[in-house]
Amino acid sequence: MFTTLKSAGMQSVHLFADQRSGLEALVAIHSTRLGPALGGCRYQPYASFDQALQDALRLAQGMSHKAALAGLPFGGGKAVILRAPHIDNRASLFEAFGRCIESLRGGYITSVDSGTGSADMDCVAQQTRYVTATSQAGDPSPLTAMGVLEGIRAAAAERLGSASLNGVRVALQGLGSVGYALAEMLVAEGAEVMAGDIDEGRVQLAVEE
């Protein structure tokens, strides 16, 4: 594991388990040189612990780069909660996760990501102040989608000679909070959207709307 962390340039990785809630989580901190590590919390099933670790390391590194490029006083981090087949109490799970974040004493600030939402962050906030994207703070997903949209426009301008997306076919993988907001924006731009999601209900909802 140490070889993996060194090759990824990782500052630290923290493992957490809470027997009462069933929590199994890890927090990867890539850098705190510019400020506390900031990054979302993923809650999804993984085939193995190694897969979850690799996901967290990759995403934490990406968060460092994004914060630096944006000139923000933050480093990069990412949390992953391994999603079990059955959890008795989701609120208790995220409250336990909040206690884990509090134990890092401000070294990592968590937020929403795949599989988590503002309601989960509200539970985290009961145990720590090192959290954003609560119901009070608001959902950052539309802002993330706007950033992706600008990237698509830039790619279209480079490859197609125009930033207009009217009639351009765009494929989306995933219709979560960001993906769904992005799909709405693309349709408003006149793009032809092809999208898929492991949740058939999300696809059906997008088609109906």
Q: In sequence order, what are the residues at sequence separation of 6 or more whose Cβ sits closer than 8 angstroms to the Cβ of residue 209?
A: 184
6 labelled catalytic = no
Residue with tokens 């480079």: 158
Burial 98-125 (b: 16+ CB within 10 A, else e): bbbbeebeebbbbbbbbbbbbebbbbbb
HSE value, Cβ hemisphere, 13 Å, CA-based, for 2:
0
Q: Nearest-CA neighbor of 31 among 15, 13, 59, 10? A: 10
Among 31, 38, 64, 78, which one carries the catalytic annotation? Answer: 78
Q: Nearest-CA neighbor of 27 among 91, 105, 84, 86? A: 105
Neighbours of 21 (CB within 10 A): 19
Q: Nearest-CA neighbor of 37 among 8, 5, 65, 1? A: 65
Q: Tokens in use for 161?
A: 């000679």
Q: Which residues are known to be catalytic?
A: 78
